[in-house]
Amino acid sequence: MEGKSMEMKVVFGVLKPLICMVHLPPLPGSPRYRGEPVETSYSRALIDAKAASKGGCNGLLVENYNDNPYLKEDRSPSTTAIVAVAARLVMDETGLPVGVSILRNSHLEALGAALAAGAKFIRVNVYTEAYVTTEGTIGAVAGKLLRYRRTIGADGIAVYADVHVKHASPIWERSTGRSALDAIERGLADAVIVTGERTGRPPTRRLLCEVKATIGDKPLIVGSGLTADNAGELMKCADAAIAGTYIKVGGLIANPIDEERVRRLIQEIERFRKDG
């Protein structure tokens, strides 16, 4: 495949890896938290992680998805600590590469949690440029994040950066491809993520191929909406995928991970790995 990237294989051991979301329950201090013991969050994370692993998933991304409505940057020490512990537990349980995401754009906290957990990567929703989001206006963080990464000796933790991320609009109107190229060349992102407009909605194949043609050998990740029905189209232009909604029981994001749905998704992706 033209413009293929080997960087994903270095981290995940395969071409075109599938990264499954591990959505933690509402954490202490968040609006929907109901006083459950923290151990409940770990237990649920492990249940989902094991289901994803048995289904053939190649990596996991631990996230505080249920802490909505989100802060622009969640400075809660307990959130950072709980995410770090959860990430370490699922990594030890499955042996898979694990990443960290703390919503909405808690980049420093995500990096700190990843360092503590021994995680391989973080996801950052707003990395370069500025966006109007459901949490307000969020500006670029690349310079601050990479300086912090160097300061704490975490250069081995990759930054996967969203461009034109879901539930947001860029202030600077330009193509997704140009934004992706700047995230890589000026922001030094290790990979870029392209999503649809909302959670569970996919980007178009045309958009993915346009971005891939712009960024060349740098990794492009499908960040939302991947299903067994569209994987054959979307993965032709992408180097990896993050799945959250489809892999849940009944395709409903509030449900636990369905091992069989993960397996079906992997089966579709595997058809393209030999050409990746």
What's the confidence (pLDDT) of residue 70? 98
> What is the spatial distance between Cα 173 and Cα 40, in angstroms, rounded to a whole number?
43
> What is the spatial distance between Cα 173 and Cα 18, in angstroms, rounded to a whole number?
31
Find all residues with CB under 8 Å of 254, minimum gap 6, and list them.
248
Give how many domains the chain has, as a whole number: 1
What CATH number should be reported for the domain holding residue 215?
3.20.20.70
> What is the spatial distance between Cα 48 and Cα 158, in angstroms, rounded to a whole number?
23
Q: What is the pLDDT of residues 22-31, one digit of tens each?
A: 999 999 999 9
Structural domain includes residue 1:
no
Structural domain includes residue 202:
yes
What's the confidence (pLDDT) of residue 4? 52
What CA dihedral angle connects 70, 75, 79 and 82, to 10 degrees?
150
Element housing 233 (H / E)? helix 231-234
Q: What is the pLDDT of residues 167-213, one digit of tens each?
A: 999 998 899 999 999 999 999 999 999 999 999 999 999 999 999 99
Does a cis peptide bond (omega within 30 degrees of 0) precede residue 104? Answer: yes
Structural domain includes residue 194:
yes
Does a cis peptide bond (omega within 30 degrees of 0) precede residue 170? Answer: no
- The whole model's pTM is what? 0.96
Structural domain includes residue 170:
yes
What's the confidence (pLDDT) of residue 274? 65
**Tens digits of pLDDT across the chain (276 residues):** 434 567 899 999 999 999 999 999 999 999 999 999 999 999 999 999 999 999 999 999 999 999 999 999 999 999 999 999 999 999 999 999 999 999 999 999 999 999 999 999 999 999 999 999 999 999 999 999 999 999 999 999 999 999 999 999 999 889 999 999 999 999 999 999 999 999 999 999 999 999 999 999 999 999 999 999 999 999 999 999 999 999 999 999 999 999 999 999 999 999 877 654
- Which domain does 107 fall in, by range? 7-273
Structural domain includes residue 215:
yes
Structural domain includes residue 89:
yes
Find all residues with CB under 8 Å of 39, minimum gap 6, and list them.
none
What's the confidence (pLDDT) of residue 273? 76
Q: Which residue has the tokens 């080997």?
A: 6
Structural domain includes residue 2:
no
